[in-house]
Structure 1
Amino acid sequence: MHAVKTDTGRALRTVPYRYDLDGLRGIAIAFVVLFHVFVGRVSGGVDVFLLLSGYFFLGSQLRYAPRPDASANPWWPVWRTIRRLTPALVVVLGASAIIGLLFAPQLRRTEIVEQFTASLLYFQNWELAAQDADYNVASGTVSPLQHLWSMSVQGQFYLVAIALAMVIIWLRRSGRDLSRWVGPLLIVVTVVSFAYAWWLHGANQPLNYYSTWTRMWQMTLGGLLALYGSRLTVAPWLKEVFTWIGLAMVLTTGLLFDGAAVFPGPAALYPIGGAVLVILGGGRLAGVLGNRFMRWLGDIAYPLYLWHWPLLIIALVVLGRETSGPVLGVVIVAVSLVLADLTHRVVEKPLRQHAKRPVRDERRARRAWHELSVSRAPRRRAVAGGTLAVVLVGLLAVQAVWQVRLSSIENVRLDPDRYPGAMALTGTPAPDVNPRPNPELLGPTTVSRIWTDGCMSRFGEDPTILPVDERGGDCIYGDPDSTFDVYLVGGSHSEQWITPLHALGEEHGFRIIPLVRQSCPTFVTDLDGIFGEDCRLFNQQVTERLAEADPDLVISTTTRPLIESGSSRETVPASYVTFWEFLAEQGIPFAGLRDNPWKTFPDGSPLSIPLCMLDIDDIHACGVAYDDFYQETDPAAAYLDPMRGMKAIDTSEWLCRDGHCPAVIGNIFVYRDSNHLSNQYAYSTAPLLWAEIGGFFPR
């Protein structure tokens, strides 16, 4: 095996089209579909697909850039890419939206609405990462748009590839040739991206799976193969061996690896290495990969990938099933193949840019405009494109409309005579009206004002900075002019209590200062080993601030289930006690709120209560049995009651009755997700909360 040819541009221009790689692409996506539907695992097919995207697309850009007549107008490659990718995506998303609206109310959720916009604008991978959405196997609780993260990564890479080609063209016109540096640049990017993926696999695998930067090496490696693969001379028998071994590696990936847990880290070298061998290979098996059927499978690979996942998820939701099973699975695969073929023939091919890419000084736009006036075919394409553009705009408008609906429930105080909420547990009558707020609108985004005001430290933000230091008075709640200071500390289960506390602060004249961070209970020492270094750093700032400020009262939660250790029942984490001892030493009063129930699946993963209500509309089945979450008595009381100035508040009495904690109480939905109170229900607890903490205030 030795290198030949030294001119990058000439080498790229002489590469023949590889129909066998079309077949490899078809096989890769076919295995994605089969493993999604029948196995419930990641097959590695998407990793291969991304490698081939780099090989084909970046290769085409680098073939064009060195041409002396290359156009320096970036619009044309962008427009060509839009025409290649967008029509099929818009059709699938439009159909998914209509089906979800008519038949699957469980899918009318805020996070999914936001994902429509993210998918259309090609940042779905970052949206999923921001929503902390692990890549999960198919079920009725998974987004039907989850799979489009890879299309977003691909689209982002295409823009980078176009930008690189434009830079080569622009520099070449100024007398500087960047072509010889392209290979070394891609090598550096590939190595750095792979190293980052390796590191992030151990640090944050969910982000690692979605990140464009950790996926970049798979696509730039494809570009390197386009640059240098044709320069390698390989014996025919060895090419045959390469193809057999490579294809075997691609096909067995899903059996050997749980891709969602390990890709795109070092384990991804297995499917990627297999695809590389196929690219370097040849022989009779390559001929089989390039036969008519395999090329057809490659042609429909993109729409097949688009269709199969929403069809699978919607079918599971509508039929109320957790898995597809063999019969339904076969139906889903068959329907996906038919729709993919129709989409390819009726949508993709007619709307694709068939003409060659324009060259320098070519008047392509003027000629296209002229063809509209003299030929029917361009007019039909224009009408079809205009129709899809209308659908696209309509889908983009969905999120704006949804935001208006969301704003109608955020921080809205319901009429207590019709919606008594927690007060119904004390005897206040609840008339027969539909519960509020609409469960379709409840979800991870219907958070308290601490979140929306930017006064809560979130994942990824500097844990050594307290938001109140940056935003000052914007992060003071209750009565900002009061001199009686109440500090609210902890994580999101403390944050949710700001709604009643703010109302009580305005009424009784005290101010609330939040020192809260996402998923970060307050402690001095992490004795449980589950809260992380960022949480430790944040809590160091919190305790220093409390020691300095000497507040009149501190409020936080006192119990939680140790889900990380496999327990779904409440307990007092040992770390919490270190914080209470600190407050006792400082002489700072403390009111501790017992945690609310967490609704989970048997494996400990969260089960959205609003989603459950949309699915089966049963306030008891969607609630939590008291004994499944709570201990017989508040376990924090044994620690706090003996301490001077400290009080354990048993909030279970505000959430449960007769051994059950239902999804709806007093005509209000209790939860916004699987384990956080809705703002409206939290507000309804204000009288009960004041009855417990009023003794801490001067009379």
Structure 2
Amino acid sequence: MSAETAARPAALPTQRPAGTSAGYRRDIQGLRAVAVGLVVLYHAGLPWLPGGFVGVDIFFVISGFLITQGLVQELAVRGKISLAGFYARRARRILPAATVTLLGTVALAVAFLPSTRWLQLGEDVVSSSTYLMNWELAGRSIDYLARDQAASPLQHFWSLAVEEQFYVVWPVALLAAAAVATAFRRRRGRRVRSVGSQSYLLLALALVAVPSFAWSVHLTQSDPGPAYFVSTTRLWELGLGAGLAIVLADPRFRAGPRAARVVGGLGLAAIGVTALTFTAAVPFPGYAALLPTLGATAVLWAGASGHSSGSATLLGLRPMVWVGGLSYSLYLWHWPLIVVATAMTGTLRIRYGLAVALFSLVPAWLSLHLVEQPALRAPSLKSDNAKSLQLGAICTLLGVVAGLGLQVNVLGQTANEPTGTTGTTGAPGTATAPAPPSTTNPGAAVLATDATAGIPAEAFASIVPSALTASGDAPQIDGHGCTIDLASTAATPCSFGNLESAVTLALVGDSHADQLVPGIEQAALAHGWRLDVYTRGSCPFTDVMVDLDGRANEACDERNKNVTTALLADPPDLLLVATSRYQVFKQGGSPSLEASKTRMASGFQGAWEPFVAQGVPVVTFRDTPRPDVLVPDCVAQNEQTLTQCAMDRSAIVWDDAPEVTAAEGMPLVHVLDLTDWICPTDRCPVVIGGVLIYRDGNHLTATYSRSLGEPIGAQLAAALG
């Protein structure tokens, strides 16, 4: 990925593996090929490499080894490290090729991606240019509303950000360790060596790597989303390679011939096992990351021995070395091309994914020979650190300007556009008057008087929200003191409507309950009810454990118990329940959505029974039709041909929905089905009454939800009797 070319440390023996030359190890190039091959094939969708993502971890180890090897050599030869020289080399090595990729991705996005993607991409270009993309993605991983957005073409820059953040502090740490070692030796009256004591260098490394590993284990279990991206959970992986480089500065720690053969083979086997067996269900990084990273460390140790081994021979084959030399540019280019191809085709089949991965060799080769190598070899840059650093600053500035320019372009188009958000409840004891449907954009209200309004139309004079702003047209409930955060277990509601009303409705469930808040609030305002909202993303109101990204959703289970306890202590007049679709969790492999229906229905009944026993009526909303494609993207590309975005009703409405099945024969339980107000005909439109229905692939816009207030109110009033 971004590991620099190896330079043979002065302390290492001159004996080298077959096929290598001074300062160059073919086996490392081959290991790079393995790493980038795993990542590219994984991203291309190859099903028998579910753990291909560990290629990034292999890169971390390689990078830590090579960079530290060069720094230790510099300490050995000069007794110090030139920070200006180090960062100048990094600037030449990393920034020109990365910046060309960023600018190329912006061009591809403008040419082939819908404008709905540009605002987020602009932000990602800025984050990638400043090497903060990992923290950007960590933030999105805990933002439930971001989970249903399209993958960023620059998502892969997170790993480059981790490396560069490590290299901000690592050379300084080595310098400090060497200075401490030198000062200690002087005080003890010993001869000062040109390189700081190996033990001090390892101590400096331990101070970085050990806490990082401990934090990685902890955060992977407690908050796996950000744990995957943040640098604090990944520094120890680079530290493994760095530690090996420090240790190998002493020839006594070289592997013997037999050890090189055995350890090198075991290292490759460990990498292979992780690539073939790890899945998204494996908590990562944490303890699990030890297997691929220790495997990579073993391969590097064996290859540094100077003895021929099976792993070094295999990795030193000409094709492996060729791909390894291309690895950084290939890593940069493959993912933007895959994302763009996926956006253009809808779903990228495996054979097309592999074709795109193969095609990415072309821009990678061009980048290597026209950008990467010229920047590295330019005599004027190699001899002048200031010029190299200036080049790096220019590259960073170009990326930031391109990203900001893309954002300004989008924001200029949406500056005067109204956004749909949940209305704000008045002060306690008051009720805010419901906003009447717009005569220009009435949304679902038009269906009450015009049955033909549900037939897909080609175009509208105006669409609210526009495709560009639809992703932000979500219920704004956080300001009311409640949250849909994935880690939340609290049972504190936020309240809407008439807060002094004698009639209280309680809404429980996940984001598919949350999406209905604007409509239910409108109904509450119209009828003078109070609405208490208890929603949490990815948390259906059920008493069975559900699957969340391959793991048991234990936080949801605890949250549901807390909500049940709170509501039974002061029962509402009506319990409202809404949910998305879930797999029941099972250790070793959760059953499919279809296979989970029966147990989910039973789980819903179990959650409702305590309320029914106390005489509280329950209204379960049938889950809304689910396109599972990014509707705003399609609308942005087909504003005058919206029928291109229409969907078959049978494809997006779930038969035998468990929340409906659970209500059958259960006293005091009512089903509220909004399907005909969202998809009135056999072909489901994406715009009704001038209002865009979906903000992503499965959530209603707040504006359309609000337009459902009248039919929701009528059916809730009937349930209340």
TM-score by length of 2: 0.74
- Counterpart for residue 265 of structure 2: 245
User: Which amino acid letter does the alignment assign opposite residue 482 of structure 2?
Assistant: C
Q: Which runs of 5+ in 1 are unaligned?
A: 1-10, 135-139, 358-367, 369-377, 469-474, 601-606
Q: Helix, strand or coil: the match of 1:45?
A: helix
Deviation, structure 1 residue 113:
4.6
Distance 1:417 1:278 in 2: 74
Instruction: Specify whether residues 512 and 404 from structure 1 end up closer, same or farther in structure 2 by C-alpha distance, changes over 3 A only.
Output: farther
Correspondence for 2:572: 551
Shift of 1:213: 4.3
Superimposed CA distance per residue, residues 27-81 of structure 1 (whole angstroms, 9 cap, x where no aligned partner): 2455247635767342743322110111123444566679997589x78866764
Residues 389/123 of structure 1: CA separation in 2 closer, same or farther (3 Å cut): closer
1:563-593, CA deviations, whole angstroms, 9 ceiling, x for partnerless residues?
Answer: 8632259776322223322223344444332
| Distance change (3 Å), C-alpha of 1:529 and 1:183 | closer
Gap regions ≥5 residues in structure 2: 1-7, 14-21, 144-148, 188-195, 422-434, 454-458, 585-589
For the residue of structure 1 that corresponds to 2:420, the secondary structure is coil
Match of 1:610 in 2: 632
User: What corresponds to 1:91 in structure 2?
Assistant: 100
Name 1:340's counterpart in structure 2: 368
Q: Which position in structure 2 is the counterpart of 1:604?
A: none
Matches of 1:97 and 1:164 in 2, distance apart? 37
Structure 1 counterpart SS, 2:477: helix
Task: List aligned pairs for 1:162-311, cutoff 5 A.
Answer: 162=171, 164-165=173-174, 167-168=176-177, 180-184=199-203, 186=205, 209-233=228-252, 234=254, 237-238=257-258, 241=261, 245=265, 249=269, 256-258=276-278, 264=285, 265=288, 266-269=290-293, 271-283=295-307, 300-311=326-337
**Alpha-carbon separation, structure 2, partners of 1:622 and 1:170:** 68
Are the equivalent residues in 2 in contact too, given 1:110–1:402 (CA < 8 A)?
yes
Q: Secondary structure at the match of 1:125?
A: helix
**Alpha-carbon distance change, 67 to 299 in structure 1, aligned in 2, over 3 angstroms:** same
Question: Which residue does 2:466 correspond to in 1?
Answer: 438
2:649 paired residue among 609, 615, 625: 625
C-alpha distance in structure 2 between counterparts of 1:222 and 1:103, whole Å:
40
Q: Which residue of 1 aligns with 2:402?
A: 394
- State how far apart, in whole Å, the 2-side matches of 1:288 and 1:659 are: 58
Q: Deviation per CA, 1:291-332, whole angstroms, max 9, x where unpaired?
A: 999887656532332122213332454466534266655433
Distance 1:258 1:599, change over 3 A: farther
Instruction: Give the secondary-structure state (helix, strand or coil) at the position aligned to 1:460.
Output: coil
SS in 1 for 2:467: coil
Measure how far apart 1:456 and its partner are.
Answer: 1.2
DSSP-derived class of the 2:370 partner: helix
Q: Distance in 2 between matches of 1:508 and 1:352?
A: 76
Q: 1:589 to 1:183 in 2, by over 3 A?
A: same
Partner of 1:373: none
- TM-score, with normalisation over the residues of structure 1? 0.76
1:387/1:565 CA distance change after superposition, 3 Å: closer
Q: 2:261 is matched by which residue type in structure 1?
A: V
Larger displacement relative to structure 2 (314-323 or 89-98): 314-323
Residue-by-residue CA offset, 1:186-233 (whole Å, 9 max, x unaligned): 458656655776787788776664453443332111011011123244
Q: In structure 1, what is the equivalent of residue 714 of structure 2?
A: 691
**2:487 equivalent in structure 1:** 460
Equivalence for 1:449:
476
SS in 1 for 2:663: helix
* Distance in structure 1 (CA, Å) of the matches to 2:582 and 2:316: 55
Is the Cα–Cα contact under 8 Å of residues 610 and 671 in structure 1 kept in the other structure? Answer: yes
Deviations 1:89-135 (A, max 9, x none): 2221121012111222277266545433432333433443444499x
Identity percentage of aligned residues: 24
Alignment partner, residue 472 of structure 1: none
Shift of 1:685: 0.7
Distance 1:24 1:30 in 2: 10
The structure-2 alpha-carbon separation of the partners of 1:489 and 1:666, relative to structure 1 and needing over 3 Å to count, comes to same
Q: Match for 1:421 among 429, 443, 451? A: 443
- Residue 150 of structure 1 is matched in structure 2 by 159
Mapping for residues 282-681 of structure 1, pairs under 5 Å: 282-283=306-307, 300-318=326-344, 321-322=348-349, 323-324=351-352, 329-347=357-375, 350=378, 354=382, 378=387, 382=390, 385-386=393-394, 389-396=397-404, 398-399=406-407, 408=417, 410-411=419-420, 416-428=438-450, 432-433=460-461, 435-443=463-471, 446-451=473-478, 455-461=482-488, 463=489, 465-466=490-491, 468=493, 475-480=494-499, 484-523=503-542, 525-526=543-544, 532-557=553-578, 560=581, 562=583, 565-567=591-593, 573-600=601-628, 607-611=629-633, 613=635, 619=643, 623=647, 625-626=649-650, 629-631=653-655, 636=660, 639=663, 643-644=667-668, 647-681=670-704
Give the 3 Å change call, closer, same or farther, for CA 245–579 of structure 1 in structure 2: closer
Which stretch shows the higher mean deviation, 506-515 or 241-250?
Answer: 241-250
> Structure 1 residues 632 and 327 mapped into 2: Cα distance closer, same or farther (>3 Å)?
closer
Instruction: Say whether the 8 Å CA contact 2:134–2:159 is kept in structure 1.
Output: yes
What is the CA-CA distance between 1:688 and the residue it aligns to?
1.4
Once residues 415 and 272 of structure 1 are traced to their aligned partners in structure 2, the CA distance between those partners, rounded to angstroms, is: 62
Paired with 1:689 and 1:69, the residues of 2 have a C-alpha distance of: 76
Q: CA deviation at 1:503?
A: 3.5
SS of alignment partner, residue 476 of structure 1: strand
